Homo-oligomer: A and B are copies of this chain.
Amino acid sequence: MKTIPILSSLLAAAVAASIGTTQAATLETERYSIEVNALVDGLANPWGMAFLPDSSLLITEKGGALKHVKLDGTTRTLTGVPEVVAVGQGGLLDVAIDPDFAENQLVYLSYSEADPAGGDGNSTAVARGELGDNGLENVEVIFRGAPKYNSRQHFGSRLVFSPEGHLYITLGDRGSRMQDAQTLDNHHGKVVRIWPDGGVPEDNPFVDTDGALPEIWSYGHRNVQGAALHPDSGELWTVEHGPKGGDEINIPEAGSNYGWPVVTYGVNYDNSIITRETHKDGTEQPFYYWVPSIATSNMMFYTGDAFPQWQGDLFVGALRGQQVARLDMEDGRIMHEEALLTDRVGRIRDIEQGPDGYIYVITDDRNGSLVQIKPAE
Protein backbone atom coordinates (compact mmCIF):
# COMPACT_ATOMS: atom_id res chain seq x y z
CA MET A 1 0.00 0.00 0.00
CA LYS A 2 1.30 3.38 -0.93
CA THR A 3 0.21 6.75 0.33
CA ILE A 4 -0.06 10.17 -1.19
CA PRO A 5 2.29 12.93 -0.22
CA ILE A 6 0.81 16.17 0.99
CA LEU A 7 1.41 18.59 -1.82
CA SER A 8 1.06 22.30 -2.00
CA SER A 9 -1.66 23.28 -4.37
CA LEU A 10 0.84 25.04 -6.58
CA LEU A 11 2.97 21.97 -6.95
CA ALA A 12 0.34 19.30 -7.15
CA ALA A 13 -0.28 19.45 -10.87
CA ALA A 14 3.39 19.27 -11.68
CA VAL A 15 4.19 16.34 -9.44
CA ALA A 16 1.32 13.99 -10.07
CA ALA A 17 3.86 11.31 -10.83
CA SER A 18 5.07 11.49 -7.24
CA ILE A 19 1.88 9.86 -6.02
CA GLY A 20 3.04 6.61 -4.61
CA THR A 21 5.68 7.77 -2.15
CA THR A 22 5.26 6.54 1.38
CA GLN A 23 4.43 9.82 3.08
CA ALA A 24 1.04 9.60 4.78
CA ALA A 25 -1.71 12.02 3.83
CA THR A 26 -4.19 12.97 6.49
CA LEU A 27 -6.44 15.82 5.43
CA GLU A 28 -8.90 17.85 7.44
CA THR A 29 -12.40 18.29 6.07
CA GLU A 30 -15.38 20.03 7.61
CA ARG A 31 -16.77 16.91 9.26
CA TYR A 32 -13.89 14.40 9.27
CA SER A 33 -10.16 13.95 9.32
CA ILE A 34 -9.58 11.67 6.36
CA GLU A 35 -6.73 9.39 5.39
CA VAL A 36 -5.94 9.33 1.69
CA ASN A 37 -4.04 6.32 0.34
CA ALA A 38 -3.00 5.52 -3.20
CA LEU A 39 -3.58 1.78 -3.26
CA VAL A 40 -2.50 1.27 -6.86
CA ASP A 41 -0.64 3.45 -9.28
CA GLY A 42 0.60 2.87 -12.79
CA LEU A 43 -2.88 2.86 -14.26
CA ALA A 44 -2.87 4.41 -17.74
CA ASN A 45 -5.62 7.03 -17.78
CA PRO A 46 -8.16 4.93 -15.91
CA TRP A 47 -11.74 5.93 -16.74
CA GLY A 48 -14.32 3.73 -15.02
CA MET A 49 -14.43 1.28 -12.16
CA ALA A 50 -16.86 -1.15 -10.63
CA PHE A 51 -16.62 -3.23 -7.49
CA LEU A 52 -17.15 -6.97 -7.75
CA PRO A 53 -18.88 -8.90 -4.95
CA ASP A 54 -15.49 -10.00 -3.55
CA SER A 55 -14.44 -6.33 -3.08
CA SER A 56 -11.98 -6.42 -5.95
CA LEU A 57 -12.51 -4.02 -8.83
CA LEU A 58 -12.73 -3.83 -12.55
CA ILE A 59 -11.00 -0.70 -13.84
CA THR A 60 -10.95 0.46 -17.44
CA GLU A 61 -8.01 2.27 -19.00
CA LYS A 62 -8.91 4.66 -21.77
CA GLY A 63 -6.43 3.07 -24.18
CA GLY A 64 -8.49 -0.10 -24.18
CA ALA A 65 -7.35 -2.31 -21.30
CA LEU A 66 -9.65 -3.76 -18.66
CA LYS A 67 -7.87 -4.40 -15.38
CA HIS A 68 -8.81 -6.60 -12.49
CA VAL A 69 -7.49 -4.91 -9.36
CA LYS A 70 -7.45 -6.07 -5.77
CA LEU A 71 -7.26 -3.66 -2.86
CA ASP A 72 -3.90 -5.21 -1.88
CA GLY A 73 -2.54 -3.76 -5.11
CA THR A 74 -2.55 -6.91 -7.23
CA THR A 75 -3.40 -6.02 -10.83
CA ARG A 76 -3.93 -8.11 -13.94
CA THR A 77 -5.17 -7.35 -17.44
CA LEU A 78 -8.30 -9.12 -18.62
CA THR A 79 -9.00 -10.40 -22.12
CA GLY A 80 -12.05 -10.13 -24.33
CA VAL A 81 -12.42 -6.36 -24.49
CA PRO A 82 -13.90 -5.01 -27.75
CA GLU A 83 -11.62 -2.96 -29.96
CA VAL A 84 -11.91 0.72 -29.10
CA VAL A 85 -11.15 3.95 -30.96
CA ALA A 86 -8.68 5.45 -28.52
CA VAL A 87 -8.51 8.98 -29.89
CA GLY A 88 -9.08 12.24 -28.06
CA GLN A 89 -11.72 11.71 -25.42
CA GLY A 90 -12.58 8.32 -26.85
CA GLY A 91 -11.47 4.88 -25.77
CA LEU A 92 -12.59 2.33 -23.23
CA LEU A 93 -14.88 4.25 -20.91
CA ASP A 94 -17.21 2.99 -18.19
CA VAL A 95 -17.66 -0.46 -16.68
CA ALA A 96 -20.63 -1.80 -14.73
CA ILE A 97 -21.66 -5.19 -13.46
CA ASP A 98 -25.08 -6.71 -13.88
CA PRO A 99 -27.46 -6.43 -10.91
CA ASP A 100 -27.54 -10.24 -11.08
CA PHE A 101 -23.80 -10.58 -11.51
CA ALA A 102 -23.57 -13.31 -8.88
CA GLU A 103 -25.79 -15.47 -11.11
CA ASN A 104 -24.81 -14.36 -14.61
CA GLN A 105 -21.29 -12.84 -14.32
CA LEU A 106 -22.24 -10.20 -16.86
CA VAL A 107 -20.02 -7.13 -17.22
CA TYR A 108 -20.94 -4.08 -19.33
CA LEU A 109 -18.45 -1.78 -21.02
CA SER A 110 -19.01 1.51 -22.79
CA TYR A 111 -16.44 2.59 -25.38
CA SER A 112 -15.93 4.50 -28.56
CA GLU A 113 -16.48 2.16 -31.46
CA ALA A 114 -15.42 2.49 -35.08
CA ASP A 115 -18.01 2.18 -37.80
CA PRO A 116 -18.51 -1.57 -38.34
CA ALA A 117 -19.31 -0.75 -41.99
CA GLY A 118 -15.83 0.70 -42.44
CA GLY A 119 -16.66 4.40 -42.52
CA ASP A 120 -14.50 6.95 -40.75
CA GLY A 121 -17.07 7.69 -38.07
CA ASN A 122 -17.26 6.49 -34.51
CA SER A 123 -19.73 6.54 -31.66
CA THR A 124 -20.24 5.33 -28.13
CA ALA A 125 -21.22 1.69 -27.96
CA VAL A 126 -21.95 -0.70 -25.12
CA ALA A 127 -20.99 -4.34 -25.04
CA ARG A 128 -21.47 -7.01 -22.44
CA GLY A 129 -19.75 -10.30 -21.74
CA GLU A 130 -19.44 -12.94 -19.06
CA LEU A 131 -16.49 -12.54 -16.74
CA GLY A 132 -14.48 -15.75 -16.80
CA ASP A 133 -11.11 -16.62 -15.32
CA ASN A 134 -9.10 -14.55 -17.77
CA GLY A 135 -11.55 -12.00 -19.04
CA LEU A 136 -14.78 -11.45 -20.89
CA GLU A 137 -16.40 -14.26 -22.86
CA ASN A 138 -19.37 -14.36 -25.22
CA VAL A 139 -19.12 -10.62 -25.76
CA GLU A 140 -22.01 -8.97 -27.61
CA VAL A 141 -22.68 -5.37 -28.55
CA ILE A 142 -26.01 -4.27 -27.04
CA PHE A 143 -26.00 -0.60 -28.06
CA ARG A 144 -24.48 1.45 -30.87
CA GLY A 145 -24.84 5.21 -30.82
CA ALA A 146 -26.15 6.67 -34.08
CA PRO A 147 -24.99 8.14 -36.29
CA LYS A 148 -21.33 7.24 -36.49
CA TYR A 149 -19.50 10.53 -36.75
CA ASN A 150 -15.83 11.42 -37.14
CA SER A 151 -15.05 13.27 -33.91
CA ARG A 152 -12.65 12.88 -31.02
CA GLN A 153 -14.97 14.57 -28.55
CA HIS A 154 -17.89 14.08 -26.16
CA PHE A 155 -18.61 10.36 -25.98
CA GLY A 156 -20.17 10.48 -22.50
CA SER A 157 -20.55 7.95 -20.85
CA ARG A 158 -21.73 6.20 -17.73
CA LEU A 159 -23.69 3.01 -17.26
CA VAL A 160 -26.30 2.81 -14.49
CA PHE A 161 -28.98 0.20 -13.87
CA SER A 162 -32.43 1.35 -12.78
CA PRO A 163 -34.18 -0.37 -9.87
CA GLU A 164 -36.36 -2.14 -12.47
CA GLY A 165 -33.31 -3.44 -14.32
CA HIS A 166 -33.14 -0.99 -17.22
CA LEU A 167 -29.70 0.15 -18.31
CA TYR A 168 -29.19 3.90 -18.62
CA ILE A 169 -26.38 4.98 -20.95
CA THR A 170 -25.33 8.61 -20.83
CA LEU A 171 -23.93 10.13 -24.00
CA GLY A 172 -22.27 13.24 -25.40
CA ASP A 173 -23.06 15.63 -28.23
CA ARG A 174 -19.89 14.81 -30.22
CA GLY A 175 -18.63 18.38 -30.05
CA SER A 176 -19.24 19.98 -33.41
CA ARG A 177 -22.60 18.21 -33.66
CA MET A 178 -24.01 19.93 -30.60
CA GLN A 179 -27.22 21.00 -32.39
CA ASP A 180 -28.06 17.29 -32.66
CA ALA A 181 -28.76 17.31 -28.93
CA GLN A 182 -32.09 19.03 -29.73
CA THR A 183 -33.37 16.53 -32.30
CA LEU A 184 -34.57 13.01 -31.65
CA ASP A 185 -33.28 11.32 -34.82
CA ASN A 186 -29.85 10.63 -33.30
CA HIS A 187 -28.20 9.67 -30.01
CA HIS A 188 -25.98 12.74 -29.68
CA GLY A 189 -26.47 14.57 -26.41
CA LYS A 190 -28.93 12.01 -25.10
CA VAL A 191 -29.47 9.74 -22.16
CA VAL A 192 -30.79 6.43 -23.44
CA ARG A 193 -32.56 3.62 -21.63
CA ILE A 194 -32.49 0.05 -22.85
CA TRP A 195 -32.84 -3.44 -21.48
CA PRO A 196 -29.55 -5.16 -20.70
CA ASP A 197 -29.96 -7.36 -23.77
CA GLY A 198 -30.31 -4.28 -25.98
CA GLY A 199 -34.08 -4.34 -26.24
CA VAL A 200 -36.10 -1.14 -26.05
CA PRO A 201 -38.47 -0.73 -23.08
CA GLU A 202 -41.97 -0.30 -24.47
CA ASP A 203 -42.65 2.59 -22.10
CA ASN A 204 -39.69 4.67 -23.27
CA PRO A 205 -40.94 8.20 -23.94
CA PHE A 206 -40.42 8.35 -27.72
CA VAL A 207 -41.26 4.82 -28.85
CA ASP A 208 -44.36 6.14 -30.60
CA THR A 209 -42.81 9.34 -31.98
CA ASP A 210 -42.23 9.35 -35.72
CA GLY A 211 -38.58 9.77 -36.59
CA ALA A 212 -37.37 9.49 -33.01
CA LEU A 213 -34.88 6.87 -31.90
CA PRO A 214 -36.75 4.71 -29.40
CA GLU A 215 -33.83 4.30 -27.00
CA ILE A 216 -33.93 7.99 -26.03
CA TRP A 217 -34.83 8.77 -22.42
CA SER A 218 -33.94 12.48 -22.26
CA TYR A 219 -32.23 15.00 -24.52
CA GLY A 220 -30.57 18.39 -24.72
CA HIS A 221 -27.42 17.23 -22.92
CA ARG A 222 -23.84 18.23 -23.68
CA ASN A 223 -21.50 15.53 -22.38
CA VAL A 224 -22.88 13.40 -19.60
CA GLN A 225 -19.88 11.82 -17.94
CA GLY A 226 -21.44 11.11 -14.58
CA ALA A 227 -24.55 9.30 -13.38
CA ALA A 228 -25.90 7.63 -10.27
CA LEU A 229 -29.18 6.36 -8.90
CA HIS A 230 -30.58 8.26 -5.97
CA PRO A 231 -30.48 5.75 -3.10
CA ASP A 232 -33.97 6.61 -1.82
CA SER A 233 -35.97 7.65 -4.85
CA GLY A 234 -34.36 5.34 -7.40
CA GLU A 235 -34.22 8.32 -9.78
CA LEU A 236 -31.41 8.72 -12.28
CA TRP A 237 -29.21 11.70 -11.50
CA THR A 238 -26.59 12.86 -13.97
CA VAL A 239 -23.80 15.36 -14.12
CA GLU A 240 -22.71 16.79 -17.43
CA HIS A 241 -19.50 18.47 -18.34
CA GLY A 242 -20.40 21.95 -19.53
CA PRO A 243 -18.62 24.39 -21.78
CA LYS A 244 -16.56 27.07 -19.98
CA GLY A 245 -18.98 27.39 -17.10
CA GLY A 246 -22.19 25.48 -16.91
CA ASP A 247 -21.37 22.04 -15.56
CA GLU A 248 -24.83 20.76 -14.62
CA ILE A 249 -26.44 18.28 -12.31
CA ASN A 250 -29.75 17.10 -13.74
CA ILE A 251 -32.41 14.62 -12.70
CA PRO A 252 -33.40 13.47 -16.17
CA GLU A 253 -37.06 12.69 -16.54
CA ALA A 254 -38.57 10.68 -19.36
CA GLY A 255 -38.85 12.74 -22.52
CA SER A 256 -37.53 15.97 -21.03
CA ASN A 257 -35.21 18.44 -22.74
CA TYR A 258 -32.28 19.77 -20.70
CA GLY A 259 -31.68 22.63 -23.06
CA TRP A 260 -28.20 22.26 -24.54
CA PRO A 261 -27.20 24.18 -26.63
CA VAL A 262 -30.31 26.40 -26.76
CA VAL A 263 -29.90 27.48 -23.15
CA THR A 264 -26.80 27.18 -20.98
CA TYR A 265 -25.05 28.87 -18.10
CA GLY A 266 -21.72 28.54 -19.89
CA VAL A 267 -19.77 30.14 -22.71
CA ASN A 268 -17.41 28.64 -25.25
CA TYR A 269 -13.84 27.99 -24.17
CA ASP A 270 -12.73 30.95 -26.28
CA ASN A 271 -15.25 33.08 -24.28
CA SER A 272 -17.52 33.48 -27.30
CA ILE A 273 -21.23 33.38 -26.51
CA ILE A 274 -23.23 30.22 -27.12
CA THR A 275 -26.44 31.94 -26.06
CA ARG A 276 -27.31 34.63 -23.53
CA GLU A 277 -30.42 32.68 -22.58
CA THR A 278 -30.65 30.47 -19.54
CA HIS A 279 -34.39 29.72 -19.61
CA LYS A 280 -36.67 28.62 -22.43
CA ASP A 281 -40.13 27.13 -22.39
CA GLY A 282 -39.96 23.41 -22.95
CA THR A 283 -36.51 23.06 -21.43
CA GLU A 284 -35.66 22.02 -17.90
CA GLN A 285 -33.39 23.94 -15.55
CA PRO A 286 -30.47 22.08 -14.02
CA PHE A 287 -30.83 20.92 -10.45
CA TYR A 288 -27.49 22.63 -9.72
CA TYR A 289 -24.69 24.12 -11.77
CA TRP A 290 -21.12 25.34 -11.57
CA VAL A 291 -19.74 28.56 -13.04
CA PRO A 292 -16.82 28.48 -13.50
CA SER A 293 -16.73 24.83 -14.42
CA ILE A 294 -14.93 22.40 -12.17
CA ALA A 295 -14.99 19.97 -15.13
CA THR A 296 -17.17 17.26 -13.68
CA SER A 297 -16.59 13.54 -14.22
CA ASN A 298 -18.64 10.97 -12.27
CA MET A 299 -20.93 11.28 -9.25
CA MET A 300 -21.84 9.11 -6.28
CA PHE A 301 -24.38 9.19 -3.47
CA TYR A 302 -22.77 8.13 -0.22
CA THR A 303 -24.69 5.55 1.83
CA GLY A 304 -21.95 3.90 3.90
CA ASP A 305 -21.25 3.67 7.60
CA ALA A 306 -17.64 4.85 7.57
CA PHE A 307 -18.69 8.52 7.34
CA PRO A 308 -22.11 8.75 9.01
CA GLN A 309 -22.37 12.53 8.60
CA TRP A 310 -21.87 12.16 4.85
CA GLN A 311 -24.77 9.75 4.39
CA GLY A 312 -27.09 10.96 1.68
CA ASP A 313 -24.56 13.46 0.36
CA LEU A 314 -23.71 13.67 -3.31
CA PHE A 315 -20.04 13.53 -4.31
CA VAL A 316 -18.95 14.78 -7.72
CA GLY A 317 -15.47 14.27 -9.13
CA ALA A 318 -13.72 17.00 -11.08
CA LEU A 319 -10.99 16.87 -13.68
CA ARG A 320 -9.55 20.35 -14.19
CA GLY A 321 -11.01 21.29 -10.80
CA GLN A 322 -8.88 18.51 -9.24
CA GLN A 323 -11.30 17.95 -6.41
CA VAL A 324 -14.29 16.06 -5.19
CA ALA A 325 -17.25 18.33 -4.55
CA ARG A 326 -19.29 17.16 -1.58
CA LEU A 327 -22.83 18.44 -1.87
CA ASP A 328 -24.51 18.29 1.52
CA MET A 329 -28.03 17.11 0.72
CA GLU A 330 -31.01 17.53 3.02
CA ASP A 331 -34.59 16.75 2.16
CA GLY A 332 -33.89 16.89 -1.57
CA ARG A 333 -31.96 20.16 -1.60
CA ILE A 334 -28.29 21.10 -1.60
CA MET A 335 -27.49 22.97 1.62
CA HIS A 336 -23.78 23.42 1.08
CA GLU A 337 -20.85 22.55 -1.15
CA GLU A 338 -17.44 21.51 0.18
CA ALA A 339 -14.38 20.91 -1.99
CA LEU A 340 -12.44 17.81 -0.91
CA LEU A 341 -8.94 16.69 -1.97
CA THR A 342 -8.40 19.96 -3.81
CA ASP A 343 -5.15 19.74 -5.76
CA ARG A 344 -4.03 16.77 -3.67
CA VAL A 345 -4.53 13.77 -5.93
CA GLY A 346 -5.01 15.25 -9.38
CA ARG A 347 -7.80 14.96 -11.92
CA ILE A 348 -10.63 12.79 -10.59
CA ARG A 349 -12.15 10.60 -13.31
CA ASP A 350 -14.39 8.26 -11.37
CA ILE A 351 -15.68 7.97 -7.82
CA GLU A 352 -17.36 4.99 -6.19
CA GLN A 353 -18.28 3.78 -2.73
CA GLY A 354 -16.61 0.52 -1.72
CA PRO A 355 -18.30 -2.37 0.05
CA ASP A 356 -16.30 -1.26 3.11
CA GLY A 357 -18.00 2.14 3.11
CA TYR A 358 -14.78 3.88 2.11
CA ILE A 359 -14.69 6.14 -0.92
CA TYR A 360 -12.55 5.32 -3.94
CA VAL A 361 -11.46 7.57 -6.77
CA ILE A 362 -9.33 7.03 -9.84
CA THR A 363 -7.18 9.77 -11.26
CA ASP A 364 -6.92 10.70 -14.93
CA ASP A 365 -3.19 10.61 -15.55
CA ARG A 366 -0.77 8.58 -17.62
CA ASN A 367 0.33 7.28 -14.23
CA GLY A 368 -3.13 7.18 -12.75
CA SER A 369 -4.00 5.87 -9.32
CA LEU A 370 -6.71 4.13 -7.40
CA VAL A 371 -7.09 6.18 -4.24
CA GLN A 372 -8.88 5.14 -1.06
CA ILE A 373 -10.43 7.66 1.34
CA LYS A 374 -11.19 6.51 4.86
CA PRO A 375 -11.55 8.10 8.29
CA ALA A 376 -8.22 8.95 9.89
CA GLU A 377 -7.66 7.02 13.09
Contacts and interface: CB of A to CB of B under 8 A. Distances in A.
A229 to B, nearest CB: 20
Interface string A121-150: 000000000000000000000000000000
Contacts of A245: 30
A338 interface: yes
Given A30-B265, A278-B309, A333-B333, A338 B287 contact: no
Nearest to A328: B289
Contact of A30 (B31, B286, B291, B336): B291
A1 interface: no
Interface residues of A, number: 22
A97 to B, nearest CB: 33
Interface in A272-320: 278, 285-291, 309
B331 A334 contact: no
A335 interface: yes
Contacts of A289: 335-336
A158 to B, nearest CB: 22
A330 interface: yes
B336 A290 contact: yes
Contact of A335 (B287, B336, B338): B287
Interface in A328-355: 330-338
A337 B336 CA distance: 10
A360 to B, nearest CB: 25
A91 to B, nearest CB: 32
A260 to B, nearest CB: 16
A287 B333 contact: yes
Nearest to A277: B309
Interface in A49-101: none
Contacts of A334: 288, 333-334
Given A285-B330, A309-B278, A338 B30 contact: no
Contact of A286 (B265, B291, B335): B335
Contacts of A330: 285
A134 to B, nearest CB: 48
Contacts of A30: 245, 265, 291
Interface in A213-246: 245
24 contacts: A30-B245, A30-B291, A31-B278, A278-B309, A285-B330, A285-B331, A285-B335, A286-B335, A287-B333, A287-B335, A288-B333, A288-B334, A288-B335, A288-B336, A289-B335, A289-B336, A290-B336, A291-B336, A291-B338, A332-B333, A333-B333, A333-B334, A334-B334, A337-B337
In the complex, the 4 A-B pairs of residues with the closest C-beta atoms, listed nearest first: A285-B330, A289-B336, A333-B333, A30-B291
Given A285-B330, A287-B333, 17 more contacts: A30-B245, A30-B265, A30-B291, A265-B336, A278-B309, A285-B335, A286-B335, A288-B333, A288-B334, A288-B335, A288-B336, A289-B335, A289-B336, A332-B333, A333-B333, A334-B334, A337-B337
